[in-house]
Amino acid sequence: MDTRTDLALLAAAIIATVCACSRQPAPDSTGNRPAAETTTQALSPAEARAIAAEAYVYGVPLVDQYKTMYAFSVDRNNPQYKGPFNSILNIARVFTPDDTAFVTPNSDTPYSFIGLDLRAEPVVLAVPKMEKDRYFVFQLMDLYTFNFDYIGSRVTGNDGGTFLIAGPRWQGETPKGITKVIRSETDLASVVGRTQLFNPADLDNVKKIQAAYKVQPLSAYLGTPPPPPAREVQWIKPIPPGQDRDSPDFFNQLAFLLQFAQPPHPSEAALRKRFAKIGIVPGQPFDSSRLPPEIKTALMDGMVDGQKQIDAKRASLAGRTDALFGDRAFLKNDYVARATGTQVGIGANSREEALYPILDKDADGQPLDGSKGKYTLHFAPGQLPPVNAFWSYTMYDLPKQLLVRNPIDRYLINSPMLPSLKEDSDGGLTLYIQAESPGKDKESNWLPAPNGPFVVFARYYWPKQELLDGKWQTPPVVRSK
């Protein structure tokens, strides 16, 4: 942790202690005050463990989402830094193994990233008119990881528009010229744009479209003086990778982030009060070193219990992940599903926008491993994935779930590549999934695998109804005999 952050947390701890002595709650970094002081003195270890399990499952999406936000919009020294909040960064290329800020990135649509801080005022996003056959989408995801709305081909069309994105407390009138007002439940949100690239020669066209995407504060859009700035935040560093499942600092991170998720949804008010019983109060430091040893142990055991729930959910998926991603109305309060989706692949789209079958086992139920076998994926004639936009199959290593380096720099096979793929003699299509080249005559259809465990993510953008209904099924991965 850097010196400034250490000093900030020390100052916050001193303020909290002084305020507690005077029976006045300490302010958080946005100026809000918690509803009441919290204590663990009356808690039994069993109750503390149960609440900790709930808080862990609830908090996994927020804590993981913050890692990406911090890397993209806060930490200017991070190689993954994209730009300050409320600005857009367009990446006029597809992702490669050098992109490691989040797991399972797609590599078939150039990305646009916007980190939103909506505390002071709304933000206006303008998109240009574009060709009818070019798919694009802006996925709006709040701090909870709910996909709270969409701008793009499926929802708003390709005729362009101007969209106002507001935080939970904005109460202004809809300005003239705004196509739609979109509400976020949380002050912080992420917007991920994807613009379809038809082929390498199409990149200049994508660059022109990206250059026309425009983000500005509402005051700039209206040409009026800006409101007072939001209170400066002393951002804390995210938990280092590999420590977020067994570090008590997880609860400090969650408490810090909940200040940007106020007020709580009515259905979660009681849950938030339970969190306060173990010291998780929005914007207030959580110091596990001051807890009785038996309570601290109970909290750590609760994290283990919560992760077991997530692992059990993941084991039950059978390759289907579409029930893990969506808006609040779709996911409701299934916190285990939301947390599982975060660990499977944070930032995935809602099922109506894209389906993501996971191919991690072969037809015999054995884990995929490039050091142990060669595999094929076969489509019968006329049985390619039914989509309105495009489909792709992307390779990731395990356990990192990142793109795989290979001698031909190919990380996926997708539908825009169909003209360069070789059909089978009967008009079907076979993909070769293995670590070594299947031979020059088959290399056009080769999806390179690592020399070890791997997983393939299918992506079906804007799926047709037969896909949504399950009438069309992804073919199995078959190990070559």
Rounded to 5 degrees, φ, ψ at 149 are: -175, 175
**pLDDT tens-place string over residues 412-441:** 999 999 999 999 999 999 999 999 999 999
* pLDDT tier for residue 345 given thresholds of 50, 70 and 90: confident
- What confidence category does residue 411 fall into, taking pLDDT thresholds of 50, 70 and 90? very high
Q: What is the pLDDT of residue 85?
A: 96
Would you state the pLDDT for residue 9? 33
Of the chain, the percentage scoring pLDDT greater than 90 comes to: 80
Model confidence at 2, in pLDDT bands (50, 70, 90)?
very low
pLDDT at 227 over 60: yes
* pLDDT attached to residue 105: 83
Cα 106 to Cα 414: distance, rounded to the nearest angstrom? 11
Is a pLDDT exceeding 80 seen at residue 102? Answer: no
Euclidean distance between CA atoms 227 and 166, whole angstroms: 14
CB atoms within 10 A of CB 32: 16
* Cα–Cα distances in angstroms (integers) from residue 382 to residues 36, 385, 391, in the given order: 63, 9, 15
pLDDT at 27: 45
Task: Assign 380 a pLDDT band (cuts: 50, 70, 90).
Answer: very high
pLDDT tens for each residue of 329-342 = 999 999 999 999 99
What pLDDT does residue 41 have? Answer: 62
The average confidence (pLDDT) of the chain is 90
Per-residue pLDDT, averaged over 63-87, amounts to: 93
Where residue 242 falls among pLDDT bands split at 50, 70, 90? confident
Looking at residues 455-479, what average pLDDT do you find?
96
Cβ neighbours of 31 (radius 10 Å): 11
| Residue 321 pLDDT | 86
pLDDT-based confidence at 40, cuts 50/70/90?
low
pLDDT confidence bin for 39, thresholds 50/70/90: low
pLDDT number for residue 104: 85
Q: What is the pLDDT of residue 60?
A: 97
Residue 15 has pLDDT above 80, yes or no: no
pLDDT of residue 201: 86
37 pLDDT higher than 60: no
Convert the pLDDT of each residue in 276-328 to its tens digit. Answer: 999 999 999 999 988 999 999 999 999 999 999 999 999 998 878 899 999 99
Q: Which tokens go with 208?
A: 């022109």
Residue 4, classed as helix, strand or coil, is: helix
Q: How large is the average pLDDT for residues 390-402? A: 95
Of 316, 308, 186, give the one whose Cα is nearest residue 324: 316
**DSSP class per residue in 345-356:** HTTPPPTTTEE-
Range with the poorest average pLDDT among 122-126, 302-306, 397-401: 397-401
With cut-offs at 50, 70 and 90, classify the pLDDT of residue 5: very low
The answer to whether 446 touches 408, Cβ cutoff 8 Å, is yes
| DSSP H or E run through 430 | strand 429-434
- Is residue 252 over pLDDT 90? yes
Give Cα 225 distance to the centre of its chain.
34
- The answer to whether 198 and 144 have CB atoms below 8 angstroms apart is no
On the question of pLDDT at 236 being above 90, the answer is yes
